Amino acid sequence: MTFDQRAAIATPVLDVQHLTMHYTVKKGEVQAVDDVSFTLAQGEALGLVGESGCGKTSIAMTLIRLLADNAKIVDGKVILAGTDVARLTDEQMRKHRWSDISMVFQGAMNAWNPVYKVGDQIWEAMELHFPDMVETEGRERIAELFELVGLGPELIDRYPHEFSGGMRQRAIIAMALSCDPKIIIADEPTTALDVIVQDQILRELKHVQETLGMAIIYISHDVAVIAEVSDRIGVMYAGKLVELGATDEVFPHPKHPYTYLLLASTPSVKGPRRKLAPLEGEPPDLLKPPTGCRFHPRCPWATEICTSEEPPFNEISEGHSVACWHTEEVPELGRLEG
Amino acid sequence: MSATGNRPLVKVENLEKLFPVGRGIFKKANQFIHAVDGVSFEIAPGESLGLVGESGSGKTTTGRILARLDHNTAGSIHLQDGEEMLDVADIGKDGMKRFRRRVQMIFQDPYESMNPRRTIYDTIAEPLQVQGIGRLPEREQRVAELLEMVGLTPAENFLFRYPHELSGGQRQRVAIARALVIDPVFVVADEPTSMLDVSIRISIMDIMLKLGEEFGVSYLYITHDLAVARYMCDRIAVMYLGKIVEIAPTEELLSNPMHPYTRALLSAVPVPDPGHARPDVEIKGGISKAIDPKPLCRFLDRCPWATEQCRTSDHPRLVEMEPGHFVSCYVVEQSR
Amino acid sequence: MSAPDLLEGTVAASEEALWRIRLRLAWRGFRKGWSSFVANRIGLVGLTIITLYGLMALAHPILMHTVWDPKIYDPVVGYDAPVTTKVIVPDGEVVDIATQVDLFSARLINPMLKVGETLDVTEQPAAPSRTHLLGTDPLGRDVLSQLMYSTRAAFMLGIVAALVTVGIGTTVGSVSAFFGGIVDTLFMRLADLIILVPFLPILIVLSALFHFELLHLAILIGVLSGFGGTAIILKSQALSVSVKPFIDAARVAGGGRMHLIFRHIIPNVLPLSFLYMMFSVTDAISSEATLSFLGLLNINMSWGIMIYTANSQGYLLSSASYWWLLLPAGLSVTLLAGSFYLVGRAMDEIINPRLRRR
Q: Is residue C6 less than 8 Å (CB to CB) from chain B?
A: yes
Q: Is residue B2 part of a domain?
A: no
Residues C283-332 have pLDDT tens digits of: 888 888 888 888 887 788 888 888 888 888 778 777 677 888 888 888 99
Residues C31-78 have pLDDT tens digits of: 877 887 777 788 889 999 999 999 989 988 888 888 888 887 888 888
Closest residue, chain B, to C271 (C-alpha):
B117
In this predicted model, which residue has the larger pLDDT, A64 or C107? A64
**Are C109 and C176 in the same domain?**
no
Domain count, chain B: 1
Q: Is residue C1 less than 8 Å (CB to CB) from chain A?
A: yes
Residue C116 CB burial class (10 angstroms; 0-12, 13-18, ≥19):
exposed
Q: Is residue B15 part of a domain?
A: yes
Q: Is residue A338 less than 8 Å (CB to CB) from chain C?
A: no
Confidence of residue B277 (pLDDT cuts 50, 70, 90): confident
CA A49, CA A63: separation in Å to the nearest integer? 16
Average pLDDT value for residue range A70-94: 88
pLDDT at residue C355 in the model: 45
B271:A199 CB<8 A: no
Average pLDDT value for residue range C127-141: 82
In this predicted model, which residue has the larger pLDDT, B247 or A276? B247
The ipTM (two decimal places) reads 0.89
Mutate to test the interface with A, among B55, B238, B273, B301 (most CBs of A within 10 A): B273
Confidence of residue A12 (pLDDT cuts 50, 70, 90): confident
Q: Strand, helix or coil at B284?
A: coil
- HEC string of B44-101 equals CCCCEEEEECCCCCCHHHHHHHHCCCCCCCEEEEEEEECCEEEEHHHCHHHHHHHHHH
Q: Are strands B325-327 and C83-89 parallel, antiparallel or unpaired?
A: unpaired
Residues B219-235 have pLDDT tens digits of: 999 999 999 999 999 99
The pTM score is 0.84
Listed in sequence order, the residues at least 6 apart from C349 whose beta carbon sits closer than 8 Å to its beta carbon are C40
pLDDT mean across residues, chain C: 82
pLDDT at residue A250 in the model: 92
Domain count, chain A: 1
For residues A126 and A133, the answer to whether their CB atoms sit within 8 Å is yes
CA C136, CA C124: separation in Å to the nearest integer? 7
**Residue B23 above 70 pLDDT?**
no
Residues A215-274 have pLDDT tens digits of: 999 999 999 999 999 999 999 999 999 999 999 999 989 999 999 999 888 888 888 887
Residues A15-66 have pLDDT tens digits of: 999 999 998 988 888 999 999 999 999 899 999 999 888 889 899 999 988 8
Q: Which helix (H) or strand (E) holds C55?
A: helix C41-65
CA B106, CA B180: separation in Å to the nearest integer? 10
Q: Is residue B169 less than 8 Å (CB to CB) from chain A?
A: yes
**Residue B189 above 70 pLDDT?**
yes
Residue A192 CB burial class (10 angstroms; 0-12, 13-18, ≥19):
middle
CA C311, CA C326: separation in Å to the nearest integer? 9
Chain B (267-306) residues lying within 8 Å, Cβ to Cβ, of chain C:
none
Q: Which chains touch B (3 or more CB pairs under 8 A)?
A: A, C
Closest CA–CA distance from residue B152 to any residue of chain A (Å): 11
Q: Is residue A147 part of a domain?
A: no
Q: Is residue B1 part of a domain?
A: no
Residues C181-195 have pLDDT tens digits of: 899 999 999 999 999
Q: Is residue C343 part of a domain?
A: yes
Q: Is residue C337 part of a domain?
A: yes
The distance from CA C95 to its chain's CA centroid, rounded to whole angstroms, is: 38
Cα→Cα distances A274→A241, B35, B37, B205, C232, Å: 29, 33, 34, 11, 53
Q: Which of B303, B332, B335 is nearest to B317 (CA)?
A: B332
**Residue C346 above 90 pLDDT?**
no
The CA R_g of chain C, rounded to the nearest whole Å, is 27
Q: Is residue A13 part of a domain?
A: yes
Average pLDDT value for residue range C163-177: 92
B165:C6 CB<8 A: yes
User: According to the per-residue pLDDT averaged within each range, which of A128-132, A279-283, A308-312 is highest?
Assistant: A308-312
Q: What is the CATH number of the domain that holds A285?
A: 3.40.50.300
Q: Is residue A253 part of a domain?
A: yes
Range with the poorest average pLDDT among A72-81, B276-285, C215-224: B276-285
Q: Is residue B276 part of a domain?
A: no
**Are C187 and C226 in the same domain?**
yes
Domain count, chain C: 2
Residues A140-159 have pLDDT tens digits of: 999 988 988 888 888 999 99
Q: Which helix (H) or strand (E) holds A93?
A: helix A90-96
Nearest to A196 among B268, B273, B274 (CB): B268
**Residue B126 above 90 pLDDT?**
yes
Listed in sequence order, the residues at least 6 apart from B189 whose beta carbon sits closer than 8 Å to its beta carbon are B105, B106, B208, B219, B220, B221, B222
Which range marks the domain in which residue B21 is found? 10-270+283-334
**Residue B240 above 70 pLDDT?**
yes
**Residue A130 above 60 pLDDT?**
yes
Cβ-count burial A15-49 (b if 16+ within 10 Å, e if not): ebbebbbbbeeeeeebbbbbbbbbbbbbbbbbbbb
Mutate to test the interface with A, among C1, C2, C32, C35 (most CBs of A within 10 A): C2
**Are C312 and C342 in the same domain?**
yes
pLDDT at residue C358 in the model: 32
Q: Is residue C5 part of a domain?
A: no
CA C113, CA C85: separation in Å to the nearest integer? 14
Q: Is residue C255 less than 8 Å (CB to CB) from chain B?
A: yes
Residues B295-309 have pLDDT tens digits of: 888 898 889 988 898
**Are C109 and C59 in the same domain?**
no
pLDDT at residue C8 in the model: 34
Range with the poorest average pLDDT among A2-16, B67-81, C151-165: A2-16
Residues A175-226 have pLDDT tens digits of: 998 888 999 999 998 887 889 888 888 988 888 888 888 999 999 999 999 9
Confidence of residue B53 (pLDDT cuts 50, 70, 90): very high
Count of all residues that appear for chain C in the document: 358
Closest CA–CA distance from residue C135 to any residue of chain A (Å): 50
For residues C117 and C88, the answer to whether their CB atoms sit within 8 Å is yes
Q: Which of B2, B34, B14 is nearest to B77 (CA)?
A: B14
Q: Is residue A98 part of a domain?
A: yes
- What sign has the CA pseudo-torsion C103, C105, C106, C111? positive
**Are C45 and C147 in the same domain?**
yes
Average pLDDT value for residue range B159-163: 89
**Are C90 and C52 in the same domain?**
no
Q: Is residue A160 part of a domain?
A: no
Amino acid symbol at C287 = S
pLDDT at residue C184 in the model: 93
Which range marks the domain in which residue A70 is found? 7-110+182-329
Range with the poorest average pLDDT among B47-51, C79-83, C265-269: C79-83
pLDDT at residue C117 in the model: 82
Confidence of residue B145 (pLDDT cuts 50, 70, 90): very high
Tell me which chain C residues have a C-beta less than 8 angstroms from the C-beta of A281. Answer: 2
Q: Is residue C71 part of a domain?
A: no
Sheet-wide strand order for A71-80: A28-41, A12-25, A71-80, A83-84
**Residue C24 above 90 pLDDT?**
no
**Are C55 and C194 in the same domain?**
yes
φ, ψ of residue A192 to 5 degrees: the values are -85, 5
Q: Is residue B26 part of a domain?
A: yes
What percentage of residues in chain C have a pLDDT greater than 70?
92
pLDDT at residue B193 in the model: 93
Which range marks the domain in which residue C95 is found? 83-122
**Are C195 and C318 in the same domain?**
yes
What percentage of residues in chain B have a pLDDT greater than 70?
95
Q: Is residue A165 part of a domain?
A: no
